[in-house]
């Protein structure tokens, strides 16, 4: 991609370049002062075959007269170019620049003191995909919007407080995008909270849409997005709280969705073979994963690394014992109690290697003392900046906007709910499945472990080969074309992680490690499935797990209170309120 500017490179242009690099697109800055004119610079670049262009209106507006702008407009329209007219100011010369190059489709840029919402109109659905019709909160601050001519085939892709700020139209053979923004998000800035990124989508989504339109499969993308529903806490019984499992499982099979129960490992001894039989018979649409270890309050928010490491091994052993007792397998994924975990917990997850990943509503630990992840990390299908251990984000259902954004970015669509969601049976789950299918008809409903081990980013290189970035130690890749292809497989693995070897379909494969990335090359001659395993030596705890009688009793009482709340008190709102107060009092008395 070529970015044309004049004079000094602005901070916004540098940020735009960084965004492009996040999606695998190499970017060159072209100072038109090194050429006779903007027209001359464009002709030289386009003669080299590069037709994906960004024109910085702010720096180019002063050096181009109307005659030259008319010539530039004609030049762009005469070729198969994808062009972004990038406006970061509202000067009258900026308006002249845009009016001329758009043939009057865009009249001017308007400065607004405050805009609080971001909307993607249905009219731009061909370009915005899953985001179409969705609205998102925006940090309340200054914004730039566009005055766009009505009609004329202009697609309004994004609006700020109902005013266009990102639009697309055709000019001759060229596709022209116009984006007005006061700032571009700095994807390399360390964040204090995920919300900083979430309320600034207007500062990066237009760039992504432009890049995908211009480069298609040369951009990093996830070709296979999965979905799942997680229910936290229940025991494996015919009925738990408002869940009637025979009805739910019948619905899942009928409507082809998959339910994963976040099962508390402490309960491993409580499942009865007679009750588990029903779940075994629905293994095509039902599975379980680990939900903590003892499920105590703030269980994984501790900063005691050694204790957290032991809990990982104990949780895994309990799930294995449960499988041996009942025949019901489990998915090696962890869901943290109360959605909370510490930085030390992430280190313990990574070092223990007992689970493939974490599935959580938060991608950042709660006890960070310094900003660590950046926007580039949150653009990935899984956030793996902490010790290379992936966090796959799940969401409660308030509306479909968070799932739309996730699908757009290639993230699995994972709904989390508790038994109260099923107060009216499986109707809510069925509605979610239906609405998700409207957004992405090809979404894959599979067991959660299959979803995460197939989640990846890929891009096509100029020579036809592929680069693939994956996120779990076990990874499944489908090679579906007849043409022989070489894959460059990339996984984030810290230098401190002891990798024994890498295998592809059981055969040891050479790999290299540099700058926190593990890289392996695989050549595939025909369509086939590949199973890639990164085999890591786990860090064992130095002490055996032990818990006193008082602690064991408190865990049992907590589980008893929780099940009384879910199975009895939940049906009576007054009793439920009293029960919650009692539980809080117990937690306080136990210091939890």
In a domain, 287, yes or no: yes
Statement to judge: residues 167 and 232 lie in one domain: no
Mean of the per-residue pLDDT values for the chain?
A: 93
Q: List the single range of 17-21, 101-105, 546-550 with lowest mean pLDDT.
A: 546-550
Average pLDDT over residues 415-440: 97
pLDDT of residue 271: 95
Give me the pLDDT at residue 582, please. Answer: 57
For 45-54, 286-295, 330-339, which range has the lowest pLDDT when averaged over its residues?
45-54
* Whole-number pLDDT of residue 567: 85
The string of pLDDT tens digits covering residues 497-514 is 999 999 999 999 999 999
The answer to whether residues 179 and 302 belong to one domain is: no
pLDDT at residue 126 tops 90: yes
> What mean pLDDT comes out for the span 145-154?
88
Beta bridge partners of 29: 3
Say whether both 364 and 258 belong to one domain: yes
pLDDT beyond 60 at 248: yes
Q: Which domain holds residue 566?
A: 549-590
Same domain for 192 and 240? no
Whether 416 and 230 have beta carbons less than 8 Å apart is answered as yes
User: Is 79 part of a structural domain of the chain?
Assistant: yes
d(CA 476, CA 532): 6
Q: In angstroms, what CA-CA distances link 78 with 36, 74, 97, 168, 177? A: 21, 6, 19, 17, 16
Say yes or no to pLDDT of 575 above 80.
no
Q: Are residues 372 and 505 in the same domain?
A: no
Q: Among 499, 514, 536, where does a domain finish? A: 536
Q: What are phi and psi of 449, to 5 degrees?
A: -65, -35
Does 196 lie in the same domain as 144?
yes
Do residue 209 and residue 78 come from a single domain?
yes
257 domain-assigned? yes
Based on the fold, state whether residues 343 and 201 are members of the same structural domain.
no
Q: Are the CB atoms for 76 and 174 separated by under 8 Å?
A: yes
Residue 291 belongs to domain with CATH number: 3.20.20.370
Residue with tokens 């019984």: 237
The answer on 236 and 103 residing in a single domain is: no
**How confident is residue 583, by pLDDT bands cut at 50, 70 and 90?**
low
Q: Are residues 259 and 235 in the same domain?
A: yes
DSSP 8-state assignment for residue 374 = B
Pair 456, 411: CB distance under 8 Å:
no
| 171 Rama class: left (phi>0) / alpha (psi -120 to 50) / beta | beta
64 has a pLDDT exceeding 50: yes
User: Band of the pLDDT at 277, cuts 50, 70, 90?
Assistant: very high
Tell me how crowded residue 140 is: count the other CB atoms within 10 A of its CB: 12
Residue 544 falls inside a structural domain: no
pLDDT of the residue at 577? 59
CB 56 within 8 A of CB 4: yes
Does residue 543 sit within a domain? no
Helix (H) or strand (E) segment spanning residue 575: helix 573-590
The pLDDT of residue 72 is above 60: yes
Quote the pLDDT of residue 372.
Answer: 84
Higher pLDDT, 370 or 301: 301
Q: What is the mean pLDDT of residues 102-119?
A: 95
Pair of tokens at residue 83: 């062009």
- What is the percentage of the chain residues whose pLDDT exceeds 70? 96
User: Which pLDDT score, from 0 to 100, does residue 592 have?
Assistant: 46
Distance between CA 91 and CA 430 in Å, rounded?
51
**Class of residue 526 by CB neighbours under 10 A (exposed 0-12, middle 13-18, buried 19+):** exposed
Full-prediction pTM beyond 0.85?
yes
User: Which of 192, 217, 242 is the last residue before a domain boundary?
Assistant: 217
Distance from C-alpha of 562 to C-alpha of 337, rounded to nearest angstrom:
13
Q: How many independent structural domains does the chain possess?
A: 4
Residue 447 sits in the same domain as residue 483: no
The answer to whether residues 436 and 381 belong to one domain is: yes
Please name the residue that has the structure tokens 């601050």. 141
Q: Which two tokens stand for residue 350?
A: 């990574």
Q: Band of the pLDDT at 584, cuts 50, 70, 90?
A: low
* Residue 542, domain member (yes or no): no
Which of 138, 189, 136, 181 minimizes the C-alpha distance to 375? Answer: 189
- Asked which of 405, 434, 454 is the last residue of a domain, the reply is 454
Q: Is the dihedral of CA 358, 362, 366, 368 positive or negative?
A: positive
Whether residue 63 contacts residue 38, with contact meaning beta carbons closer than 8 Å, is answered with yes
Q: Identify the sign of the CA torsion 63, 65, 69, 75.
A: negative
Asked if residue 247 is part of any domain, the answer here is yes
């Amino acid at each position: 991609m070529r970015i044309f500017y004049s004079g000094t490179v602005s901070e916004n242009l540098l940020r735009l370049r960084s965004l492009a690099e996040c999606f695998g697109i190499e970017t060159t800055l072209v100072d038109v002062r090194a050429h006779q004119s903007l027209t001359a610079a464009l002709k030289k670049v386009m003669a080299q075959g590069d037709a994906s262009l960004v024109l910085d209106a702010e720096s180019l507006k002063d050096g181009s007269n109307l005659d030259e702008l008319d010539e530039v407009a004609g030049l762009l329209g005469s070729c198969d170019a994808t062009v972004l007219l990038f406006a970061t100011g509202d000067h009258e010369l900026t308006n002249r620049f845009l009016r001329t190059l758009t043939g009057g489709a865009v009249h001017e840029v308007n400065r607004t003191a405050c805009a609080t919402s971001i909307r993607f109109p249905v009219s731009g659905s061909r370009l915005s995909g899953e985001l179409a019709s969705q609205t998102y909160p925006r940090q309340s601050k200054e914004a730039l919007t566009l005055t766009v001519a009505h009609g004329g085939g202009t697609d309004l892709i994004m609006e700020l407080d109902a005013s266009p700020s990102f639009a697309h139209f055709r000019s001759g053979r060229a596709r022209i995008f116009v984006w007005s923004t006061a700032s571009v998000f700095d994807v390399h800035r360390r964040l204090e909270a995920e919300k900083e990124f979430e309320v600034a989508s207007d500062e990066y989504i237009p760039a992504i849409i432009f890049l995908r339109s211009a480069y298609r499969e040369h951009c990093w993308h996830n070709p296979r997005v999965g979905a799942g529903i997680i229910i936290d806490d229940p025991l494996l019984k015919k009925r738990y709280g408002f869940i009637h499992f025979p009805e739910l499982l019948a619905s899942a099979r009928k409507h082809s969705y998959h339910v994963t129960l976040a099962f508390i490992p402490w309960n491993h001894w409580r499942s009865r073979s007679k009750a588990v039989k029903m779940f075994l018979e629905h293994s095509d649409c039902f599975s379980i994963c680990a939900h903590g270890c003892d499920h105590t309050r703030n269980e994984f928010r501790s900063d005691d690394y050694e204790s957290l490491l032991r809990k990982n091994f104990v949780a895994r052993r309990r799930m294995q014992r449960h499988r041996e007792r009942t025949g019901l397998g489990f998915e090696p994924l962890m869901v943290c109690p109360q959605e909370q975990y510490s930085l030390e917990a992430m280190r313990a997850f990574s070092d223990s290697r007992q689970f493939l990943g974490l599935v959580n509503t938060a991608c950042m630990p709660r006890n960070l003392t310094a900003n660590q992840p950046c926007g580039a990390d949150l653009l990935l299908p899984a956030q793996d900046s902490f010790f290379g251990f992936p966090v796959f984000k799940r969401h409660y259902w308030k509306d479909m906007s968070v799932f739309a954004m996730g699908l757009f970015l290639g993230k699995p669509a994972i709904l989390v709910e508790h038994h109260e969601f099923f107060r009216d049976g499986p109707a809510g789950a069925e509605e979610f499945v239906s609405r998700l299918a409207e957004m992405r008809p090809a979404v894959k409903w599979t067991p959660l472990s299959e979803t995460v081990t197939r989640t990846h980013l890929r891009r096509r290189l100029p020579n036809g080969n592929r680069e693939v970035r994956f996120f779990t130690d076990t990874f499944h890749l489908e090679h579906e074309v007849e043409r022989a292809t070489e894959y460059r497989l990339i996984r984030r693995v810290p230098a401190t992680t002891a990798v024994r070897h890498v295998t592809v379909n059981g055969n040891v494969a050479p790999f290299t490690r540099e700058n926190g990335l593990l890289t392996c090359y695989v050549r595939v001659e025909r369509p086939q499935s590949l199973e890639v395993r990164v085999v890591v030596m786990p860090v064992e705890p130095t002490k055996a797990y032990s818990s006193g009688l008082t602690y064991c009793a408190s865990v049992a009482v907590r589980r008893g209170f929780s099940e009384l709340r879910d199975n009895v008190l939940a049906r009576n709102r007054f009793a439920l309120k009293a029960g919650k107060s009692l539980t809080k009092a117990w937690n306080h008395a136990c210091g939890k």
